[in-house]
Amino acid sequence: MSVPYRWSKHPLENITWKLKEIKWFYQRGKRGYSDRDVWDFYTYLLRVFAGGLKELKENEIGYPCTCYTDNKDPEKCDCENKWDMLLDKMIAGFKAGINYDDSFDEEDMKKCEEALDVFKEYFFALWD
For Zn ion, the binding residues (CB under 5 A) are 65, 67, 77, 79
Q: 3-state DSSP: the chain helix, strand, coil percent, rounded to 5?
A: 75, 0, 25
Q: CA 81, CA 78: separation in Å to the nearest integer?
A: 6
The CB-of-125 to Zn ion minimum distance in angstroms stands at: 12
**CB nearer to Zn ion: pick between 2 and 69:** 69
Collapsing DSSP states into helix, strand and coil, what is residue 71?
coil
**CB nearer to Zn ion: pick between 52 and 64:** 64
The CB-of-65 to Zn ion minimum distance in angstroms stands at: 3
**CB nearer to Zn ion: pick between 73 and 102:** 73
**CB nearer to Zn ion: pick between 80 and 101:** 80
Q: CA 6, CA 13: separation in Å to the nearest integer?
A: 9
Q: CA 23, CA 21: separation in Å to the nearest integer?
A: 5
The CB-of-20 to Zn ion minimum distance in angstroms stands at: 49
The CB-of-85 to Zn ion minimum distance in angstroms stands at: 14
Does residue 90 contact residue 119 with C-beta atoms inside 8 Å? yes
